[in-house]
Chains A and B, each alone.
Chain A
Amino acid sequence: MERTFKIFRYDPEKNGKPHFQTYKLDCPSGCTVLDALYNIKGELDGTLTYRRSCRSGICGSCGMKINGINCLACKTQVEFLKGKVIYVEPLPGFPILRDLVIDLEPFWEKFEAIKPYLINNSKPPTTERYQSEEDQLKIEEASWCILCNCCTSSCPSFWANKEYLGPAALLKAYRFVFDSRDQGAEERYRMLNTRSGLWRCHTIFNCMDACPQDINITDYISQLKTRIVSERY
């Protein structure tokens, strides 16, 4: 079926203003928005620019705003999108480099700030460190985050204050603080327990709506808050 796409365009080299460009494309059943972008780029306009890699929802490259909702282009089927026109825009709240490509450096900075790695300075055993099934389940879902930035870029608290760590970084903090093998909680609390840290999460739930992995982000952030309060005060 032929569908109309209005795609956000911005080319800094052409000094042009950001605008929407209209493309019409035949989209068979099963066609994803990423497939559509691929065909528009290949057949209609090679200058259309976006990121992609895995096309199966696991690499986190293709986060964008489609009909007003942050999601992965490769996981969004065109036929399920309602309305005459499909709007495609870059994820909000980040500097735009070109078309749908945003500057991710601020995202990675926040990610690195919470020390996103296991901290355990004891000498490891010759086999694995044991962890109960129950303890593993606490961090399992959180470890499925693909760092797509759909959540952080959907968060009004982040839009209002770009210093805010944002849900993706906080989720990563949860994943380590709640890992029974980790000993770095104290170091992380210093980063988390600040005005641009945990307490800027006002439980708005946008992040959870946006998350393509259906991770209970807000719930995990709440658990972090409870943990900090109970250990610190």
Chain B
Amino acid sequence: MTHKHDVIIIGSGLAGLRAALEVGKVADVAVLTKLYPSRSHSGAAQGGIAATLKNVDSDDCVEFHIFDTVKGSDYLGDQDAIENMCNEAPEVVYETEHMGVPYSRTEDGKIHQRKFGGHSLNHGKVAVRRSCYAADYTGHVLLHTFYEQCIKNQVRFYNEFQAMSLLVKDNVCQGFVAWDIINGGLHVFHAKAVMFATGGYGRAFKITSNAHSSTGDGLSLCTRVGLPIEDMEFVQFHPTGLYKQGILVSEGARGEGAYLLNGQNERFMERYAPTLMELAPRDMIARAIQTELLEGRGCGPNKDHVYLDIRHLGEAKITAVIPQIKGLCLDFAAIDPIKEPIPIQPTAHYSMGGIPVTVDGRVIYDAKNSIVEGLYAAGECACVSVHGANRLGTNSLLDAAANGRRTGKAICADVGKLKHSELPDNPMKAAQDEMNRVLGGTGKEKVIRIRHDLRDSMEENCGVFRTSEKLTKQKQILKDLHERFRHIKIDDKAKIFNSDLMEAIELEHMLEFCEVIVEGALNRNESRGGHSRTDFPKRDDDNWLKHTMAWRGEDGKITFDYKPVIIKNYQPMERKY
């Protein structure tokens, strides 16, 4: 079956839904998602969304937000895109309030704000309350509100449809093919404009804060049609995942005053970031924790975790401002954080890299910013780049909402000029071949084993600290895993809701873009933000102040090119907190 719309958005998280609301004003728009909209992983975000509303700290200003984001990015963020995002932030957040987001309120009835890592006054002097929040359900209420508005504006949804292959010819996007998960069967989606909003890929790592569905499909859908992906070596490890589970304990806890303690009961951040302490950026805290562990100062019999302590905040405050954290600790770790410290360890959390786009969300196909006609991307799957080498907390809900909106506006501006370009003769071929191959596999390999070997080895060899030796080893492991994937066999051959098939398809996506992560990390001989090479411990601005663009050939060979970083007001400086 073929469906024709002016614009189709793949992904129903914050970025996709925000764009749909914008595009719906002028064109026929549909959103396609492999889940139901309200189940997108944006809903898991707890802490807040950044904007200089000055509701609590009146000295805050946009310029400080811009500076913090640039510095947080370890100077790899593009300053034009960062300026746009921070300038637009207040308007973007007010709009969400007008749509109905039930933000927590100050005494005078304004949106409440809290502290978050890396956000400061006066260029790093003191932590500032910039994160707008709704208790610790911020992502949840934003996602639900956007979905509600889509219902109000009668956006067309294709729920539980998985995008399978992109149709691009001569740098013009024609549409894509998706699979109806509930009924089986492939459908062609013919559109003037297609937008990716497919989110992150934390599932490629063993310990992760991400959902089972965060498998980064959009990235390999792009590389399979010869498009590049950008800065993939930059993966954010969030410092405070629940021990062994990886489930996130929001930075909101530290924003409200939580301590980090090692096995000797020291607030060890004193050694690493004496000014901002627990509110230093995530990359630094993750490395600090990992260093404490490596040097034998962890907690517990295996000294393999540290503690996040919120006991001194008191029960009343914990229940009022971070209730979800309390519930998560009780339900998933059987810990009552009012009485006991919370065991935590770094957890794979966020993808700074992604599908390269212009500041307006138009997908580009080379380092010269040449545009793929009719193709757009925003949110975690995209690389604008507002986060550079390390994202600050609360800047990603903002990125998804602000750049989802901006990309929606760009689509509105373009759609009048775009047309439905002719579809290829057999548009379903690639998707059909892929399904047949997976369904017809008769080998001995099990998907779950390959998936576990993938995420265990990525954690081990491409985690918080990396070396050339480990990455080279991982490159080989990935080759072997690919080979094993060719010999898989899945049990389920059914048409209706074949999640066995879905998981195999998602695994292959991860195997493909992990090669780009690993080779990008091996290639980048420096340490910057979330990418930390113990064999090249310093940032190297002379050689590496540039974005990586990577192409993955059909044979799995990765080639690189580089794109300059846009620098405006802030020249790179040493990054201290």
What residues of chain A have their CB less than 8 Å away from a CB belonging to chain B?
Answer: 11-14, 30, 32, 39, 41-43, 45-47, 49-50, 52-61, 75, 77, 97-98, 101, 104, 108, 112, 115-118, 120, 124, 126-133, 136, 139-140, 143-144, 146-147, 175-176, 179, 181-182
Contacts and interface: CB of A to CB of B under 8 A. Distances in A.
19 contacts: A30-B244, A39-B448, A42-B446, A45-B491, A58-B43, A61-B35, A61-B39, A97-B496, A97-B497, A101-B497, A118-B148, A126-B94, A128-B98, A128-B111, A130-B109, A136-B103, A143-B141, A179-B100, A181-B100
B84 interface: no
Given A42-B448, A118-B148, A132-B105, A59 B137 contact: no
Contacts of A59: 35, 38-41, 43-44, 211
A130 to B, nearest CB: 4
Contacts of B333: 30
Q: Which 10 A-B pairs have the closest CB atoms?
A: A42-B448, A118-B100, A46-B491, A130-B109, A117-B148, A46-B500, A124-B98, A59-B39, A117-B152, A128-B97
A56 B39 contact: no
A104 B98 contact: no
A53 B212 contact: yes
Contacts of B135: 140
B439 to A, nearest CB: 12
Contacts, number: 160
Nearest to A56: B247
A139 B103 CA distance: 10
Contacts of A120: 98
B110 interface: yes
B44 A179 contact: no
Given A130-B108, A143-B144, A117 B492 contact: no
Contacts of B140: 58, 144, 146
Contacts of A129: 97-98
Interface residues of B, number: 64
B38 A60 contact: yes
B102 A136 contact: yes
User: Which residue, of A101, A131, A143, has the highest number of chain B Cβ atoms within 10 A?
Assistant: A143
Contacts of B134: 140, 143
Contacts of B100: 117-118, 176, 179, 181-182
A58 to B, nearest CB: 5
Interface string B458-497: 0000000000000000000000000000000011101111
A171 to B, nearest CB: 12
Contacts of B425: none
Contact of B137 (A61, A143, A176): A143
A143 B35 contact: no
User: Which residue, of A45, A56, A130, has the highest number of chain B Cβ atoms within 10 A?
Assistant: A56
Interface in B76-124: 94, 97-100, 102-111
Contact of B41 (A41, A54, A140): A54
A140 B22 CA distance: 27
Contact of A54 (B102, B211, B447): B211
